[in-house]
Amino acid sequence: EVTTPQEPEVSVPSPSIPEAAPAITEPIPTPVEIITPEPEPVAAITPEAMLVEESTADLPFTDIKQDSKYYMMLKELKDKGLVAGYPDGTFMPDKEVTRVEAIAFILRAVDESTKDEIVKVFPDVDAASWYAKFIAAAYELGFVKGYPDGTFKPIAPVNLAEFLGMLFVAAEADIDPEVSIALPQGVASTDWFAPYIQEALRRGMVEA
């Protein structure tokens, strides 16, 4: 009798099932988006812009260019502190000059100061106005007298004859009363201001 060998039984272990992962109870933080600010654009400085800035800095006033016939004269006057222009940086050379503006200039030119105590001289000059001290000083120095009706008309435009008359009297200039040179057209040698025009011509202050 032949006995057939029996195959040995093989025991295969069952795979172990891992335990489940514990539940996450803490909230997951939301990622924060980092925003990098973009740099502000910087205006490019061109050679032309630099030239404009330099040329503007050299001007005595913003409305007086280097090719202006007033340039050198106004630059010198500003450097000496005789003129200051308007708050916006302009001078307005073609603008009419008032009588008080002329007086303020003349007082600076002859290096005369004003007083804090103001004596009211003319009825149409308000003692609280900015120009009252200039008019009072000019009256005390004797180079303004006002009009026959007793008024001064401070904001009226000053003409060339009035300005030269006040300037030369304030500066105590030696004026020749005899007119001996040719005067500009429209000015007669018998005019009260003719000697002042003559002096201005001799000094190169006006053109014939």
Q: How confident is the model at residue 115 (pLDDT cuts 50, 70, 90)?
A: confident
* pLDDT tens per residue, range 173-184: 999 999 999 999
* pLDDT tens per residue, range 140-161: 999 998 899 999 999 999 999 9
pLDDT confidence of residue 48: 44
Q: How confident is the model at residue 92 (pLDDT cuts 50, 70, 90)?
A: confident
DSSP character string of the chain: -PPPPPPPP---PPPPPPPPPPPP-SPPPPPPPPPPPPPPPPPP--HHHHHHHHHHHH-SSTT--TTSTTHHHHHHHHHTTS----TTS---TTSPPBHHHHHHHHHHHTT----SS----STTS-TTSTTHHHHHHHHHHTS----TTS---TTSBPPHHHHHHHHHHHTT----SS--SPPPTT--TTSTTHHHHHHHHHTTSS--
Question: Picking from 56-70, 116-130, 176-190, which range would have the lowest pLDDT averaged per residue?
Answer: 56-70
